[in-house]
Structure 1
Amino acid sequence: MTPVGSELADRVLGGWLGRIAGNMLGKPVERGDHWTRERIDRYLRRADALPLTDYLPEPADEGDRLALRPEWRECVRGRVHGSCRDDDVDYAILGLHLLETHGFDFTTEQVGDLWLLRLPYLQTFTAERAAYRNLANGLKPPLTATYDNPYQEWIGALIRADVHGWTSPGAPRRAASLARRDAVLSHTGNGVYGAMWAAALVSAAFTAGTVREAVEQALTVIPASSRLARTVRRVASLHETGMAWDDTLTTVAEETAGAHWIHTIPNAAVLTAGLLYGDGDFTRTVALTVRGGLDTDSNGATAGSVAGVLCGAAAIPDRWKDPLEDTVRSAVFGFDGVRISELAERTVRLARTSA
């Protein structure tokens, strides 16, 4: 059953706010080869910020300051004034524009055309940059994903998927189908499954009774034998045994060792653990997910989106919402400075037409 009326509007706004707040939370430590779980927690202890209940604190010493991403000054508590630009939010905006422009019957080729028209090349990374280059050189999907692209199973397609969940509330298979059509422009295998899973997870969050139920529904849209599905089930099974969050992540990190810190598989494990151990509480969910390390801003964004949909915008604590000042910085041409509330309203209009 799909939420209707003001409930749908509150859930969608919660998704947008959660995605942006989670992204901002993780942005300063988005360097998984340096900012391990242990280093992030040491940083927080030095700043007397454990348990983490707000945006990251300013660094307590010069060493930490130099190790943070340069955008940290716009993302730490007390310094947030609207969201800083990030691809994790750019792709949500671009996905919204895609659906407004071409409708739910869009083609993968139309996704590529919109990238060339609206997205600056230097604001793309890894698989997206490879696909963009291939598009500019005249290649068509699926070659755009496979030619000279070593990043086909990295997390890029997953971060583009939320809008397909927001616009297909309570319809995870439909959301996954839309996300797949988008993802195959740049990804293959588990990279595509990651997008389908994330879209289904966001969609299921509108109607699921619990986080666990949403995670289980999302698993039904990807092959059960895929490495992604096996990894998500592994995290869920460890959680069910009562194992502590950090022990679960240590166990799964050993089992996924060798994968790059931007690969879909280890990041899906961190994200799943954050959601399950966060248990529907917005602050705990985004805090645990970012403390899990790896691609912190992408994982924080997706966790925030799912948690925001589950609880709705009204239930997200003001300390996460107010500093965003209802404003988004974006590299997508024509959208810089757009209001978060406007993006949510436009998303709700699409969700209502899809019902």
Structure 2
Amino acid sequence: MTPVGTVTEIEDRVLGGWLGRVAGNMLGKPVEQGDLWTRDRIDRYLRRADALPLTDYLPEPPTNSDDAFELRPEWRSCVRGRIHGSCRDDDVDYAILGLDLLETHGFDFSTEQVGDLWLLRLPFRQTFTAERAAYRNLANGLKPPLTATFDNPYQEWIGALIRADIFGWTCPGEPRRAAALARRDAVLSHTGNGVYGAMWAAALIAAAFTAPTLRHALTEALAVIPASSRLSRTVRRVLSLHDARLPWEETLATVSEETAGLGWIHTVPNAAVLTAGLLYGDGDFTRTITLTVRGGLDTDSNGATAGSVAGVLTGAEAIPAQWRDPLEDTVRSAVFGFDGVSITELAERTVRLADST
């Protein structure tokens, strides 16, 4: 394992993670509906807008666009030329909430304290799927682990994975520690592969600070989850297809067939899209997040996590201006007390937590 480096380097890479998460989320948000916005439909949209290869935020719909290419309603504030700071989104809200959790309770936080903070800081109507089920269970007086299992059909969906970044950013070079923290958070709302997804993502981000290559980081991240889990088997399948030099499109087509029936918000197929984007992006920030979003499924969540990993690998200074500048160093958030906070401040507070351990 290589050393993390100087404080200045850590600051740049943590800021890169935050910027990457916000930019990747914004890139994928207009097409976040995986049952409609398939890989084929996304690429047809981009060809029609003369935007392939994709090197910037999504273009706005052509003036002669039809219903087949109707973007999500938020598109007017998250397509190129219209972005002035980030849109509000749960993929960023949970990173902020995780930061507040560690600042408030430290690294010895309990799962019950995660739930208490949700009730205090997070509006119910800004929660979805497993998080909404857990929130309702909390409000009805249930305690973990019942909050994850009672009347919750979304236990293996992607929600816990999107909450994991903060544990990786604050544990640079310590993937097992990051995974343990992510697990403590995830079991509030998830079980099985839903929890493993959070552990894997946190470990991957932590490993990205010190691993000599992305492939090494992916290998380290796999080591924190059961090898027999479907998540582990699927990620390893993507690795093997990449090693066999299959084109990106063929790799995704293969794993799509093998994970058919799980749904577009399930952790396992989304981890496959994310892994493929990282591998075929080959360390290039733009290529990584654009391939990941073009992969479909939960596009804003996958784009956000891919951007976080790529941003840690490259550092903020190496993120191209077309991704950074429109964000105007500003985050809009539903987390009480954080709306309008600067990305720079979030990164500085994250570094202080990392330095305190």
Task: Tell me the CA shift for residue 2 of structure 1.
Answer: 2.9
User: What's the counterpart of residue 58 of structure 1?
Assistant: 60
2:305 corresponds in structure 1 to: 302
Q: Give the AA of the match of 1:44.
A: L
Cα separation, partners in 2 of 1:327 and 1:65, compared to 1, 3 Å: farther
SS of the aligned residue for 2:329 comes to coil
Letter in 2 for 1:47: A
- Structure 1 residue 278 corresponds to structure 2 residue 278: no
CA contact (8 A) 1:43 1:64 kept: no
**TM-score under structure 1 length normalisation:** 0.99
Q: State the aligned residue count.
A: 354
Q: Secondary structure at the match of 1:287?
A: helix
Q: What's the counterpart of residue 242 of structure 2?
A: 239
Offset of 1:66 from its aligned partner? Answer: 6.2
Q: Which residue, 174, 188, 191 being the options, matches 1:188?
A: 191
Q: Percent identity?
A: 81
Partner of 2:209: 206
Q: Is the 8 A contact 1:59 1:65 kept in 2?
A: no
Residues 290, 299 of structure 1: 8 Å contact kept: yes
User: What is the distance in 1 between the residues matched to 2:13 and 2:108?
Assistant: 24
Q: Does residue 38 of the first structure (1) align with residue 40 of the second (2)?
A: yes
Q: What per-residue deviation string (whole Å, max 9, x for no partner) do you get for residues 82-107 of structure 1? A: 00000000000000000000000000
1:171-219, Cα deviation, whole Å (9 max, x unpaired) = 0000000000000000000000000000000000001111111111100
Q: CA deviation at 1:62?
A: 2.9
1:103 paired with 2:106, answer yes
- Alignment equivalent of 1:266, drawn from 269, 285, 294: 269
| Conservation of the 8 A alpha-carbon contact between 2:61 and 2:69 | no
Q: Which residue of 1 aligns with 2:326?
A: 323
User: Gaps (5+ residues) in structure 1?
Assistant: none
1:92-131 → structure 2 map (5 Å cutoff)? 92-131=95-134
| Cα separation, 2, equivalents of 1:267 and 1:120 | 26
Alignment partners' CA distance in 2, 1:3 and 1:349: 16
Amino acid at match of 2:123: P
Q: Which residue of 1 aligns with 2:257?
A: 254
Q: Report the 3-state secondary structure (helix = DSSP H, G, I; strand = E; otherwise coil) of the residue aligned with 2:189.
A: coil
- Alpha-carbon distance between aligned partners in 2 of 1:247 and 1:63, rounded to the nearest angstrom: 29
Q: Which runs of 5+ in 2 are unaligned?
A: none
C-alpha distance in 2, partners of 1:134/1:285? 37
Which residue, out of 10, 21, 24, partners 1:22? 24
String of CA shifts for 1:129-174, please: whole Å, max 9, x gaps.
0000000000000000000000000000000000000000000000
Corresponding residue for residue 224 of structure 2: 221
Letter in 1 for 2:214: V
**Structure 1 pair 65–25 and aligned structure 2 pair: CA distance change class (3 A):** farther
Q: Partners of 1:63 and 1:344 in 2: how far apart?
A: 41
TM-score (norm 2): 0.98
Query: SS of 1:62's equivalent?
Result: coil
Q: 1:136 aligns with which of 139, 151, 154?
A: 139
RMSD: 0.8
User: 1:273 offset after TM fit, Å?
Assistant: 0.1
Per-residue deviation, 1:64: 5.3
Q: In structure 2, give the amino acid aligned to 1:83.
A: S
Deviations 1:288-322 (A, max 9, x none): 00000000000000000000000000000010000
